[in-house]
Every structure is written in structure tokens, then in C-alpha cells.
Amino acid sequence: MLTFDQKLDNLATLALRVGVNLQPGQRLVLGGPVEALDLMRRIVEQAYDLGAAHVAVDINDERMGLIRALHAGDDTLDVADEERVAMTKAKLERGDALLRIAGSDPDLMAPADPTRVARMTRAASVAHRPVGDLVQRAFMQWSIIAFATPAWARKAFPDVPEDEAVAKLWDAIFAATRADLDDPVGAWQAHLATLRQANDHLNARAYRALHLRAPGTDLRLGLADSHVWESGGTVAESNGVGFVANMPTEEVFTAPHARRVDGVIASSKPLSYQGQLIDRFQLTFEGGAVVAAKAERGQAALDKLLEIDEGARRLGEIALVPHESPISQSGLLFYNTLFDENAACHVALGRAYEVTMRDGAKRPLEELQRDGFNQSFTHVDFMFGSGELDVDGELPDGTLEPVMRGGAWAF
């Protein structure tokens, strides 16, 4: 049994050695919430022990965002901090690794007007684009880990006192990231090898579409013409170093065809979007675009999401996650995409990842778009997977074969 301190040290070790896979002499850009100061100090210490040339730390307080949404003048909401983005971009273009610590309050923006929040979000997304581009194409190593902030813990475990909620959330984070094991780095290497097997199978079959069936879901989801399936590890373009972008990660994912998705898909878990909860929703697709969207809760937030731009109405990711994944089996709703997206099969509205297209980082965007690559300012995952999900793969000649049955791999 490891102590809490040992597990937190393990999380720092995993973030550096498996997540960004920091190399001796390399610089690190570390960003996280003010609540995570203790974890950030451990990361900085271990980074220098691993030979980091420099660690640039960016501490933020998300409540400042809420304060702005409540108090800023209506004519100022499209202003964004481009200079700060330019600074980060310069560091990443040099090849610095990027590590982010997530732990947002899922209800942060609930007191604010969704229209104002959407404008701020859009302005920030547009400004963030130069950094987002480098991240999406895996130019340098990057990774995200989680920190159990009190606000997030209260949301995930509303029925217990705050101290207990934080402790429970930490237990769940440590279990999902394998930080509670004696040899967490070794456990990750074994896990990544298992993901690689499913990944290689899907690439070998080269399906042109998937057929998804579950209660409320009946969708033919075309795959982009030169799509490739990806999982766990990615290789950075700038230095060829392998890294794991999300910890945890249980998904095998690729690029849908932006113009070849037809049918209906129902969410299987609530979507926490910009502090708003969207729940029990169903989207109808025609020719790749959402033509109808109905939510039992959060209809206004869902409509706002779909209106961000043309690409927000189309899919940029399809990810398969076995229903028996440790996060799914925990039965918890984390209200955090990093965890919840690894609990179940999901799709993303918005931008596709270049890494899910053959030579995606090297080919011009217009060519990728001809192949079905979706372009947008946003990328929002929602879950449709469950123990009742069946998935068939459609071969180039139209033959169907089982990919998942009852939420489990069927090959």
C-alpha cells in the first residue's frame, strides 16, 4: 500500500516519463490551476532531476474567467490575450514539451449567461489557434493529467463532505492513471502494448465506415478516406520522441468523414461543456452535418456549441473504448472529459486531429479536407458507448463484420 505522497509522486513521475517523456536538456512548459501547486512543485523537482534545461510554470485561477463573464462590458467579450499565446507558441516551436494539469470546476460558468460565455470561449479558441495547431499535429510532446480540486470533487461526489470527496476523487484518479501501483511506468508500458493490438487490427481492416447501434443510436459513420487509427502513444514531429497525450487513455480513435455521417446518435453520459451540463441528448445527422439536436437538459448550451462554426456541426473524432475499461467499471461520472471520454466510446463535434490522417501533418489542409477531415475552432467529445453498444465495420466492398458486441471487442 503506497501513501498518498508516494502516489502523488508517482503521478508526477508518470506525467514526465510516460506523458511528455521529457528528454535530458529539454525545456518544459507546465501549466495548471493554483490549487495544484503541491503537485506542480513535485513535477518541477522531478523534471530537473531528469535533466530538464528549464521549467516555465504558468499558474492560473479559473475563477478569474467567471469574474470576467459576470463583470466585463458586453462590447469587450471578443477580446483575447494573443500575446500570451504568441509566447507559448514561440516556446513550443523551439521544441519545448507542454504539460497541463486539469481540474476544472464543471459548474464554474453556471452563474453566467451562456451567450456571453460562448463569445469569450470563441475569442479564446481563435486566439489559441497557433498553439492548438502545434498540439493537434503533435509537433512537440504534450500531455494532460488531472488534479483533484475541491470544486471538482464536490461535483463528482456531492453526497459526502468535501474532505472525503477530495479523497475519493484522488483514489479514482490514482486508480485510473495506475499511479497507485508499485511500478506505474512498467504498468503503462504493458497497457500501451494492449491498446496497440486493437489499433493495429483496425488499421489492417481499413473499414470505410462503422455502423453504430445502441438504444437511441442507429448511425452509419463514414471514415475519412486516408484515416489512420491511433491510440495511446504518439510520436512528436519535432524530435521523434514518443509521448502519451492523455493520462489516462483507453481509447483507439480516428477521423470520421465530415460529409458521410447519417442517422441518429444518443448520448450515454452527460456532457459537461463550459460549466454547463448537457444531458440525454440525441443528434440527427444528414450528409455529415447535424440537422436536429434535442437535449432533455442543456438545450441552450447544446445549440450554442453547434453554432460555434460550420465544423462544430460535424464530427472530428470517433473513439472506441471497451466497456470493461477500468474507468467505465468504476461506474463514476467524473464530469471531466479526460476521464469520462476514457470510460466509453465517444465522438467529437468539431476539429479532427491531423495524427488520425495518413501523413496528416505534412499534407495541405485542403487535401485533408477533400478526404473528409473536419475543420473547426472547437473539439468537444461526448459519450455514446455502453454495455449495449454493437459496432460493425464496413469493408471497402460493403461487407459488414463485427467490431464490438455489447461494448466489448468482437475480434
Residues making up the chain, counted from first to last: 411
Task: Assess 318 for contact with Zn ion (CB under 5 A).
Answer: no
Task: Tell me the closest approach of the beta carbon of residue 254 to Zn ion, in angstroms.
Answer: 10
Considering the complex, state which of residue 327 and residue 348 has its C-beta at the smaller distance from Zn ion: 348
Largest CA distance in the chain: 58
d(CA 227, CA 358): 6
Tell which residue, 173, 23, 20, 21, has the closest CA to residue 100.
20
Task: Assess 250 for contact with Zn ion (CB under 5 A).
Answer: no
Task: Tell me the closest approach of the beta carbon of residue 233 to Zn ion, in angstroms.
Answer: 14
Among 271, 319, 355, 357, interactor with Zn ion by CB under 5 A:
319
Nine cell digits for residue 269? 453520459
First to last CA, the chain: 37
383 contacts 346 by C-beta, under 8 angstroms: yes
Q: Is 332 helix (H, G, I), strand (E, B) or coil?
A: coil
Grid cell 493495429 is found at 200
Considering the complex, state which of residue 140 and residue 320 has its C-beta at the smaller distance from Zn ion: 320
Task: Tell me the closest approach of the beta carbon of residue 251 to Zn ion, in angstroms.
Answer: 5
Considering the complex, state which of residue 18 and residue 319 has its C-beta at the smaller distance from Zn ion: 319
Considering the complex, state which of residue 12 and residue 347 has its C-beta at the smaller distance from Zn ion: 347
Q: Which stretch binds Zn ion (CB under 5 A): 36-44, 85-93, 165-173, 318-326?
A: 318-326
Task: Tell me the closest approach of the beta carbon of residue 348 to Zn ion, in angstroms.
Answer: 4
Considering the complex, state which of residue 9 and residue 250 has its C-beta at the smaller distance from Zn ion: 250
Residues that contact Zn ion, how many (by CB under 5 A): 7
d(CA 201, CA 208): 14
Task: Assess 348 for contact with Zn ion (CB under 5 A).
Answer: yes
Considering the complex, state which of residue 144 and residue 319 has its C-beta at the smaller distance from Zn ion: 319
d(CA 212, CA 224): 16
Task: Assess 317 for contact with Zn ion (CB under 5 A).
Answer: yes
Q: Which helix or strand (DSSP H or E) is residue 404 part of?
A: strand 400-405
Considering the complex, state which of residue 170 and residue 253 has its C-beta at the smaller distance from Zn ion: 253
Task: Tell me the closest approach of the beta carbon of residue 315 to Zn ion, in angstroms.
Answer: 10
Considering the complex, state which of residue 26 and residue 234 has its C-beta at the smaller distance from Zn ion: 234
Tell which residue, 265, 337, 320, has the closest CA to residue 294.
265
d(CA 28, CA 21): 11
Number of H-type helices and E-type strands within the chain: 12, 20
Beta strand 142-146 pairing with 97-102: parallel
Task: Tell me the closest approach of the beta carbon of residue 342 to Zn ion, in angstroms.
Answer: 8
Q: Is 63 helix (H, G, I), strand (E, B) or coil?
A: helix
28 contacts 55 by C-beta, under 8 angstroms: yes
d(CA 371, CA 365): 10
Q: Which stretch binds Zn ion (CB under 5 A): 11-19, 76-84, 300-308, 317-325?
A: 317-325
Q: Is 242 helix (H, G, I), strand (E, B) or coil?
A: strand
In the window 369-408, what residues touch Zn ion (CB under 5 A)?
Answer: 381
Considering the complex, state which of residue 40 and residue 349 has its C-beta at the smaller distance from Zn ion: 349
Contact letters (x/-) for Zn ion, 252-291, by CB under 5 A? -x--------------------------------------
Task: Assess 340 for contact with Zn ion (CB under 5 A).
Answer: no
DSSP state of 205: H
* Site for Zn ion, rule CB under 5 A: 251, 253, 317, 319, 341, 348, 381
